[in-house]
Structure 1
């Protein structure tokens, strides 16, 4: 079973605090999702999403980095065994976008490096692991920057 952490930009006026409505947000076919990803209106993180979260929270005292991947107001899924949806307001999205655009990837990498390498093949694979996390960082930065430009909120959900 594959796990994906799915992030989607939503205009605040369209956002509903309804679990059924939120569930329908993530029922689009892959071609539709791919088009939104290409426009930085949606992002998907594979099963390494928890590790990407660790990159932003390794040694941060600030709560803001925690919002990049896993943060947000939880809304229970209609099926209790499913993970909750997470919602970031447009104001929170702006703060995350500001954080990501000003963050130095190397400064994020250094405190998280040993932990990430230990779960991704060790020091011999550092160039590949570093490149993977740097690429995801760039994608998340582009997603949040575009979302902030539109003044949108973000809805997140773990898909199985």
Structure 2
């Protein structure tokens, strides 16, 4: 089973506070989304999205105070799916997106990595895995920083959904 966390930028004027609308947003292909909401920006994190959350939130139990760093990956107001067996959608307002973008722009990746390094390397249990694993997290950090920066520049909200 593949799990992915999808993050999609949505202009506030196109946003509907409806689980059915959110479902359509994630079912549509990129071209349809672009046509419907005027542009398309998306970020997708694979099944290791929880590890990326650890990078930003600290080692569990998440020590980060509530705020932008805890909203990067799994943060947002839940909008419950019409099918209660599916995870809720998460919504970050344009204002929250601006805060996340500012946090990521100012974040010191090396400091984040040092703080979470032991936990993030634990699943690999191979001494020489660190350069590759660190590189993957650094690339994800760059991608998320670019996604949130552009989304904040447009003044858009972000809708997230864990697709199982």
The 2-side partners of 1:129 and 1:62 are apart by 27
Which residue, out of 105, 116, 137, partners 2:141?
137
| 1:119-142 superposed Cα distances (whole Å, 9 cap, x missing partner) | 234442000100000000000000
- Which SS does the other structure have where 1:79 is aligned? coil
Q: CA deviation at 1:21?
A: 0.4
Q: Which residue of the partner structure matches residue 3 of structure 2? A: 3
Q: Which string of whole-angstrom CA distances, capped at 9 and with x for unpartnered residues, describes residues 19-41 of structure 1? A: 10010000123x649x9xxx981
Residue in 1 aligned with 2:47?
47
SS of 1:135's equivalent in the other structure is helix
Residue 75, structure 1, aligned to residue 79, structure 2? yes
Query: Is the 8 Å Cα contact of residues 9 and 153 (structure 1) preserved in structure 2?
Result: yes
Q: TM-score, normalised by structure 2?
A: 0.89
- Corresponding residue for residue 56 of structure 1: 56
User: Among 100, 104, 120, which residue is 2:104 paired with?
Assistant: 100
- Look up the SS of the partner of 1:95 in the other structure: helix
Q: Distance in 1 between matches of 2:55 and 2:40?
A: 21
Structure 1 residue ranges, 4+ long, deviating more than 6 angstroms after superposition: none
Pairwise CA distance, 1:72? 0.1
Give the corresponding residue for 1:13: 13
Q: Is the 8 A contact 1:40 1:146 kept in 2?
A: no
**Count of residue correspondences:** 155
Q: Following superposition of structure 1 onto structure 2, how do residues 113-152 of structure 1 map, counting pairs within 5 Å?
A: 113-152=117-156
C-alpha change, 1:121 and 1:28, in structure 2 (3 Å) is farther
Relative distance call for 1:124 and 1:32 in structure 2 (3 A) is: farther
Partner of 2:70: 66
Corresponding residue SS for 2:27: coil
Partner of 1:25: 25
Query: 5+ residue gaps in structure 1?
Result: none
**Secondary structure in 1 matching 2:101:** helix
